[in-house]
A and B are shown apart, each in its own frame.
Chain A
Amino acid sequence: MARLKKTIRNLLLIAVLLFLFMKLNGLYFSPVEALHTSERDLHYGPSEIIHSFDHGKSRYFLTRYQDMISCSPIDRFLGVFWRYGTGHGIENKKERPLFTSYRSKEEEWLIYGIRNDPSIVRVEIEVKNAEGETEIYTSDTFYEDMFYIMWEGENDSDVLFSEIFVGLKAYDDKGTVVYDSDFPI
């Protein structure tokens, strides 16, 4: 009986300490909770999750809130937790047929955005790799007009997106270029 009481006391203590540990480290049991909490703390959202996908130890959320879009990674931590992320958006410039933004993390580059011109069916980004060779990545998958392209490449703090970016093109279903930009975002 004494052991049962001690076990209950230990479990209650663990619950309190776990709560503090999670608060101290910005951890959540659910990635959506982590995303929306980080948004709220940055006075943004809660955004509408359009699509989510896993890559490495992170779950990325393509989201929309008012006229803003975002693609925030929420990282897995210690197997069961999800770590507080960067839940913030950028305003969609609707005058552009295609509006994009980017982010990088470790060896990964991510470009994401939204098509304001519904005729766009394919997006193509041209970038330089570590050897200076040009590589092309494409996406023809849209989630309520939002899309993303992810690739691995040279990515340390010295490399700017503008240094690897060559061009961005968007095509309609006939293969006609609808949007062509050599300006990084």
Chain B
Amino acid sequence: MPSPETREFSVEARQAPSPAVKEFIHKVVNRVHFFPDRHDIELELAAHIEDSMLFLQEEGGLSQEEAEKAALERMGDAVEIGIALNRQHNPVLGYIWYFSRIIAVLLCIIVIFQSVPMLLVSGWTILFDHPIRDIPKESIVRHVKPNELIKLDSRRIRITDVIQTEDGDLHVLYSSYNLSFSGLHGWSSSGLGIFKDEDGETYFNGGGRSSAGIYSRARRSLDNFPFEKEKLIIEWDYAGRYYKVEIPLGEVVNNG
């Protein structure tokens, strides 16, 4: 009996089956309800009958017509063979296997197509895109590395560097990712909160940038942060979420 697995046959080397053989094979495969296997079964049955015919012709000295008739008789009842093959080629399992293969391939193509750009962007960010490179080294007058980890819902923010440059701008550098993978579809909050100094003065003006992807690095720059201030306070107080990070800024060096 042919197995459910695909087998290769050298079809070209074999003759086309006669109408009687075709009819026999047709009766068999008609009982097989898993259509995708029918072609393989047809090929295997045809090969089997032909082998049997050749054997009968060579060993038994029968003519082609006699050998064909005898070979078909040896095969047995076509309907019974078909029923047995249908049990072996279970259509329920067969169709689940068949469509699961198609769905898996399609999903694989879609996921690769969608995720590769995201992975490339994140890889680029991790390897090359550090916003500290936006800041000329010679302009730095204060630089601290707080390495503060902030947990805000499923978002994780790490403040890596706070740098003040000679023009008074204070740059807060941080990386973030989201445990809910929301960065994958591009929707997530990227804010850091309200910036204050130790006297409660708030700072809004400035700029910044942030990279996209699963893992992002960002820079938030505050204009004209006074050199005499000793602390940067970052506070989030909204919709039931609260955090406060106090970052000592250290001494100003090389100012002016």
With A4-B93, A7-B93, A11-B100 already in contact, the answer to whether A41 and B239 are too (CB < 8 A) is no
> Whole-angstrom distance from the CB of A30 to the nearest CB of chain B?
15
Q: Which of A10, A43, A84 contacts B187 (CB 8 A)?
A: A84
- Given A14-B104, A26-B182, answer yes or no on A41-B189 (Cβ-Cβ < 8 Å): yes
Interface size on B, residues (CB 8 A): 35
B182 and A24 contact, CB distance less than 8 A? no
**Among the listed A10, A24, A65, which residue makes an inter-chain contact with B101, where contact means beta carbons less than 8 Å apart?**
A10
With A14-B103, A14-B107 known as contacts, the answer to whether A23 contacts B181 (CB < 8 A) is: yes
DSSP class of A's interface residues: helix, strand, loop or mixed? helix
Range of interface residues on A (Cβ < 8 Å):
20 to 34
A157, CB-defined interface residue at 8 Å: no
Q: How far is the CA of A14 from the CA of B189 in the complex (A)?
A: 30
Contact B189 A42 (CB under 8 A): yes
Residue A139 CB within 8 A of the other chain: no
Q: Which of B10-18, B48-56, B125-133, B149-157 contacts A (4 or more CB under 8 A)?
A: B149-157
Contact call B104/A24, Cβ cutoff below 8 A: no
Taking A7-B96, A41-B180 as contacts, is the C-beta distance between A66 and B103 under 8 angstroms? Answer: no
Taken together as a complex, chains A and B put the C-alpha atoms of A25 and B103 apart, in Å, by: 17
Tell me if B155 and A43 are in contact (CB < 8 A).
yes
Cα A44 to Cα B241 with chains together (Å): 8
Chain B residue at minimum C-beta to C-beta distance from A83 = B185
Query: Which of A4, A6, A17, A89 touches B108 (beta carbons < 8 Å)?
Result: A17
Is A45 on the interface with B (CB-CB < 8 A)? yes
Would you call A37 an interface residue if the criterion is a C-beta within 8 Å of the partner chain's C-beta atoms?
Answer: yes
| Residue numbers in B under 8 Å from A20 (CB-CB) | 111, 115
**Chain B residues with a Cβ under 8 A of chain A:** 4-5, 93-94, 96-97, 100-101, 103-104, 107-108, 110-111, 114-115, 118, 152-155, 178, 180-182, 184-185, 187-189, 236, 238-241
28 pairs, A vs B, C-beta closer than 8 Å: A7-B100, A10-B103, A10-B104, A11-B100, A14-B100, A17-B107, A18-B107, A21-B107, A21-B110, A21-B114, A24-B184, A26-B184, A40-B154, A40-B180, A41-B180, A41-B187, A41-B188, A41-B189, A42-B189, A43-B236, A43-B238, A43-B239, A65-B239, A65-B240, A66-B239, A68-B239, A84-B187, A89-B239
